[in-house]
Amino acid sequence: MKRIWLLLFLPGILGLLLKIILERGWLENSVLFLRIDLGTLALLLGIFLSILLFIIWGIFLWQDRQFNDEFIQYQATTAEERRQFLQRLDHELKNPLTAIQAGLANLDGSVNQPAIESIKAQTLRLSRLVADLRKLAELETRPIERSLVNLSAILEEAVAIIQEGPEADQRSITLSLPQAPWPLPEVQGDEDLLLLALLNLLGNAVKFSEPGATVEARAFEDADMVTIEVADTGPGIPENEVPFVWQELYRGHGARGVPGSGLGLALVRAITERHGGQVTLRSRVRQGTVVTMKIPIGEVTKL
């Protein structure tokens, strides 16, 4: 179907054939008219050109749609393949890990204890990683709770939890929530998951910035969305790394010295998308980062 544009030549070819047939005298070449005024000629040409352009435009649109369909399908297949891969990985890793954990438990008290402890800790870390990857994959498919959630309360709670953290006291953490003309509307969703996402964003802002940095969380209503922003004056993320931050286990240059699972932002993205929202990140090196999370306002609470 890629050669469909060849059809455009069809009228021309038909005209040419007719011309040849008539010239050869196989059919009677009757004279239809002799004169045509310039106006009529312009009109006929105009109509002809319009039809031609219309056809070209249609073909262009059609191809574009097909490309889009293919792209969406490609994305769906990739997501499904990734999910299946994670499932197989989980399955292949959990038997050896079970055996290792049981074996280690048997060694307790018999040999070099510090060595055993360190192997145990690493085994636990590996087990946790496998479990986290599986849960992340599950989160993308499993149904989530849809109750009315007060995002203001959740933001306040998340900020309070982060402020209790060990690194928070050297940073200025502020939260601004709208009060006038009205407070944030409620959204539909799972409050535990939303809290988890916000904790991850605030936690990153604190974790990756230097003491003395400013962390700001703010939220506002914007058409049919609630927009939440978490901004910091941290080291920022280089432009070429920004597109990858949402991927599982991706760790940028700046993140290598900082402990973490490499799953935080992937989790934030999955949670946001399960709520029908979008999340984006803007950053400037040495200036800071802002993550913008948009969650649609539930039908119930819309005025």
Partner 1 sequence: MEKKPHILLVDDEQDITSNLSAYLNRSGFETSVAGDGEAALQKVDQNPPDLIVLDVLMPKVDGREVLRQMRQADDWTPVILLTQVGEASERAMALEEGADDYLNKPFDPHELVARIRSVLRRARPGRPPLSAAWVLVSGDLRFDRQSRRAYLDEEELSLTPKALVLLEYLMTHPDELLNRERLLDVVWGWEYPVGSRAVDTRIAELRRTLGDDAGDPTYIETVPSLGYRFINPVESGK
For residue 112, report the phi and psi dihedrals to the nearest 5 degrees.
Answer: -35, 95
Whole-angstrom distance, CA of residue 133 vs CA of residue 130: 5
Q: 203 or 277: whose CB is closer to partner 1? A: 203
DSSP 225-249: EEEEEEEE-S----TTTGGGTTSTT
Which 8-67 residues touch partner 1, going by CB under 8 A?
none
CA angle 148, 152, 157 (to 5 degrees): 105
83 binds partner 1 (CB under 8 A): no
**Which run of H or E residues covers position 45?**
helix 38-107
List the one residue from 12, 25, 143, 259 that touches partner 1 (CB under 8 A): 143
- Segment contacting partner 1 by CB under 8 A, of 30-38, 77-85, 141-149, 212-220: 141-149
Tell me if 111 contacts partner 1 by CB under 8 A. no
- x/- binding map, residues 159-178, to partner 1, per CB under 8 A? --x-----------------
Which one of 8, 52, 76, 99 is in contact with partner 1 (CB under 8 A)? 99
How far apart are alpha carbons 259 and 251 in whole angstroms? 10
Residue 154: Cβ-neighbour burial (10 angstroms; 0-12, 13-18, 19+): buried
Identity of the residue, 144 or 290, whose beta carbon is nearer to partner 1 in the bound complex: 144
Indicate the helix (H) or strand (E) that contains 22. Answer: helix 10-23
Beta carbon nearer to partner 1, 190 or 232? 190
| Interface characters, 172-211, with partner 1 (x: CB under 8 A) | --------------------x--xx--x---x--------
Residue 101 binds to partner 1 (criterion: CB under 8 A): yes
Q: Does 89 bind partner 1 (CB under 8 A)?
A: no
Query: Is residue 119 near partner 1 by the rule CB under 8 A?
Result: no
DSSP-assigned letter for residue 278: E
Is residue 242 within 8 A of residue 283, CB to CB? The reply is yes
Identify which range of 47-55, 79-87, 88-96, 212-220 contacts partner 1 by CB under 8 A. 88-96
CB of 213 to partner 1, least distance (A): 21
Size of the site for partner 1 (CB under 8 A): 28
Told to check if 135 binds partner 1 by CB under 8 A, we report yes
Least separation in angstroms between residue 271's CB and partner 1 is: 11
148 binds partner 1 (CB under 8 A): no
Burial 71-104 (b: 16+ CB within 10 A, else e): eeeeeeeeeeeeeeebeeeeeebeeeeeebeeee
3-state DSSP assignment of residue 98:
helix
